[in-house]
């Protein structure tokens, strides 16, 4: 057992330098399950920008135009409370999951782990070999073989990083804009091309060099573990009750000697396969990303020794120390309650959200005008934001029969799906019909005869009784 595991993380040496991890490949039941999940996720991630729900993408986080689309639902800056509530709900969901299952998300779903373990590392193994061959290659001189292998690996890494960079950009600017960047002359999209190269460089650096450091030192979610997990959280855990005292098994050990020994034969395979370089036998550690490689490794050793598997398994501290069966704690139940409440509120708000948002305000710096026929008029600006998937043909009108509304520039009001239109209109009324100096009424927006939005407005005029 390394005695310094509480002093520093496994990938940092005494002088603060990086200790490069060479995880050994291990096959097993969990690897096969994670392969299925990971390749499905990767396919989904690359397909995401091309999937549309109605006329909108599945997911688009267009921070440039402040337009966010989640599951085909468009969120504008005017919906920022809904977006914020979605984010809070997502955070609570992750907290619930973490309280109950630890870093399960990291090992099975996080794009960092999924891409590193199921795309980049297999390519590295294919070109440079498994753990021992890679250690030999890295320690060896820069001869022709090493240059050829490293160059080939980095060129492939760059190509995949470029593909990820394209996809990442498509989630921000949308597939159509990405296609324009890819197909138009480069001079027309310098900014877009620089963004593309920037993302590619970041992904290349993350997967070629940073690797597990993202999970062990950078990712804020990883740092949250210390406050979220407790003795009832299900983690990848070493069963020390069964495994200790550990030790190699002598060939001709007696029954009595074997009975005194735990099931861990101290083969070290669980440490060699760990992509974060830790020894899970030291207990639950922040660096563990739940990749399950140590479970597969230990199960393979147990199988060779004809002993039951599961010496390392998904289990809580309490289930190992006190043999308690899995049960939701009060804390987990409380978090689940909060999550359910937030989800219901969020769904309700989305479901009852108006499909169009209207804003009307008097044009600043203008005064009412009275013409020769004694008709008084005021000028207004308006914005209409269509949050639906359909183009809307709408009409604006005051709900007070004394007033008439005249659009400036056009008579037809067409608001395309997921777009905003702006315009100007006059409100008019005969001066002698006005009995107050600030008439208050509503501007109503109709789609055919159906009222779909309305907003209050004021119509300033002369003080009644005053001669104009």
Residue numbers at the binding site for ligand SF4 (CB under 6 A): 236, 238, 243, 246, 264-270, 273-276, 278, 280-281, 288-294, 297-298, 301, 311-312
Bridge partners (DSSP) listed for residue 442: 456
Beta carbon nearer to ligand SF4, 291 or 427: 291
Q: How far is the CB of 196 from ligand SF4 (least distance, A)?
A: 32
- β-bridge mates for residue 378, sequence order: 427
Give ∠ CA 249-253-258 in degrees, rounded to 5: 70
Q: By C-beta, is 92 or 291 nearer to ligand SF4?
A: 291
State the nearest-atom distance from the C-beta of 28 to ligand SF4, in Å.
Answer: 11
**455, 384 Cβ separation under 8 angstroms:** no
CA atoms within 13 A on the CB side of 271: 15
Instruction: Tell me the closest approach of the beta carbon of residue 213 to ligand SF4, in angstroms.
Output: 13
In the complex, minimum distance from the CB of residue 270 to ligand SF4, in angstroms, rounded to a whole number: 3
**Main-chain dihedrals φ then ψ at residue 243, nearest 5 degrees:** -85, -25
Q: Which CB atom, from 82 or from 289, has the smaller least distance to ligand SF4?
A: 289
* Choice between 268 and 464, CB closer to ligand SF4: 268
> Given the structure tokens 């890679």, which residue do they identify?
134
Smallest separation (angstroms) from ligand SF4 to the CB of 297: 5
Q: Which is nearer to ligand SF4, 266 or 419 (CB)?
A: 266
Residue closer to ligand SF4, measured from CB, 293 or 396? 293
Which residue, 175 or 281, has its beta carbon nearer to ligand SF4? 281
- Nearest approach, Cβ of residue 23 and ligand SF4 (Å): 8
- Which 3-state string (H, E, C) describes 217-249? HHCHHHHHHHHHCCCCCCEEEECHHHHCCCCCC
Is residue 445 exposed (0-12), middle (13-18) or buried (19+ Cβ within 10 Å)?
A: buried
Please state the closest distance from residue 153 (CB atom) to ligand SF4, in A: 23
Contact 60, 174 (CB under 8 A): yes
Closest CA to 415 of 394, 398, 389: 394
104: enclosing H helix or E strand: helix 104-108
Helix, coil or strand: residue 411: coil
Specify whether the CB–CB gap between 417 and 362 falls below 8 A: no
CA count, 13 A, side-chain hemisphere, 64: 11
């Amino acid at each position: 057992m390394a005695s310094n595991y509480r002093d520093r993380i496994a990938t940092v040496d005494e002088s603060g330098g990086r200790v490069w991890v060479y995880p050994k490949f291990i096959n097993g039941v969990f690897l096969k399950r994670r392969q299925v999940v990971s390749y499905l996720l990767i396919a989904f991630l690359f397909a995401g920008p091309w999937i549309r729900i109605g006329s909108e993408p599945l997911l688009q986080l267009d921070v440039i135009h402040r337009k966010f689309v989640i599951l085909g639902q468009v969120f504008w800056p005017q919906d920022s409370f809904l977006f914020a509530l979605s984010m809070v709900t997502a955070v609570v969901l992750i907290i619930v999951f973490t309280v109950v299952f630890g870093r399960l998300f990291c090992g099975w779903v996080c794009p960092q782990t999924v891409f590193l373990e199921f795309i980049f590392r297999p390519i590295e193994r294919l070109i440079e070999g498994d753990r021992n061959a890679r250690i030999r290659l890295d320690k060896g001189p820069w001869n022709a073989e090493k240059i050829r292998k490293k160059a080939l690996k980095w060129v492939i890494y760059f190509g995949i990083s470029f593909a990820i960079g394209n996809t990442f950009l498509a989630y921000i600017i949308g597939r159509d804009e990405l296609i324009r960047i890819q197909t138009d002359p480069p001079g027309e999209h310098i900014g877009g091309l620089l963004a593309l190269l920037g993302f590619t460089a970041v992904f290349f650096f993350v997967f070629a060099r940073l690797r597990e450091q993202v999970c062990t030192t950078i990712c804020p979610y990883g740092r949250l573990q210390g406050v979220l997990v407790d003795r009832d959280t299900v983690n990848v855990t070493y069963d020390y009750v069964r495994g200790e005292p550990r030790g190699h098994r002598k060939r001709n050990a007696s029954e009595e000697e074997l009975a005194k020994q735990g099931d861990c034969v101290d083969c070290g395979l669980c440490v060699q396969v760990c992509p974060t370089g830790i020894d899970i036998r030291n207990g639950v550690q922040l660096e563990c990303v739940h990749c399950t490689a140590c479970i597969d490794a230990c199960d393979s050793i147990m199988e060779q020794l004809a002993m039951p598997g599961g010496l390392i398994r998904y289990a809580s501290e309490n289930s190992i120390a006190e043999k308690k069966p899995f049960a939701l704690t009060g804390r987990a139940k409380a978090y689940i309650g909060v999550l359910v409440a937030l989800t219901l509120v969020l769904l309700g708000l989305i479901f009852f959200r108006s499909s169009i948002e209207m804003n009307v305000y008097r044009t600043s710096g203008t005064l009412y005008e009275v013409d020769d026929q004694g008709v008084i008029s005021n000028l207004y600006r308006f914005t209409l934001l269509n949050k639906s998937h359909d183009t809307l043909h709408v009409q604006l009108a005051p709900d007070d029969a004394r007033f008439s509304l005249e659009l400036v520039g056009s008579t037809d009001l067409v608001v395309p799906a997921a777009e905003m239109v702006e315009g100007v209109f006059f409100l008019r009324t005969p001066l002698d019909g006005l009995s107050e100096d600030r008439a208050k009424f509503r501007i109503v927006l109709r789609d055919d005869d159906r009222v779909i939005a309305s907003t209050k407005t004021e119509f300033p005029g002369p003080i009644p009784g005053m001669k104009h």
